[in-house]
Amino acid sequence: MFGETHAGNVSKPAACRKQIDYWALATELGGVQVYTTALHCVVNDELKAEWEEYLDQTRNHAQIVQDVIEQLGLDPQTETPGRKVTQYVSFRIFWHIVLDFSSRNLCALCGS
């Protein structure tokens, strides 16, 4: 049955579920980081309002996933291979936003 243990080992479906939960948390936390960063850069008020709504939704999703992980008796801080990949992707998106914003601001400061 799903989630049963065999000789002290977690079954494959339970192990997959755990990985998916950690991956989901990393995805939502990465989204929070991306939206938070993007909100520091946005100049369009309509887009800013939309992204603020998305940020609130994403924070809520992250809290829900964290609550599920804790209810399963797991530690939300646990690093897994899948979580590391997801964090890397979020990090890359974050840095693309930062670098784009920095280059635009640097040009504005230089009068370019």
The encoded tokens of residue 70 equal 């804790």
- Please give the tally of structural domains in the chain: 1
Mean pLDDT calculated for residue range 63-87: 91
Residue 4, pLDDT score = 44
Give first-to-last CA distance, the chain, whole Å: 65
Q: Is residue 3 part of a domain?
A: no
> In angstroms, rounded to a whole number, what is the distance separating the alpha carbons of residues 45 and 59?
21
pLDDT-based confidence at residue 110 (cuts at 50, 70, 90): very low
Q: Is residue 2 part of a domain?
A: no
Mean pLDDT calculated for residue range 77-97: 84
Q: Is residue 5 part of a domain?
A: no
pLDDT-based confidence at residue 91 (cuts at 50, 70, 90): confident
- Side-chain-side CA neighbours of residue 10 (13 Å): 9
Q: Is residue 1 part of a domain?
A: no
Domain around 58? 11-110
Any bridge partners for residue 6, and if so which?
9
Q: Is residue 69 part of a domain?
A: yes
Count how many residues are written for the chain. 112
CB of 86 closer than 8 Å to CB of 79: no
Any bridge partners for residue 9, and if so which?
6
pLDDT in tens, 12-46: 788 788 888 999 999 999 999 889 988 888 888 89
Q: Is residue 94 part of a domain?
A: yes
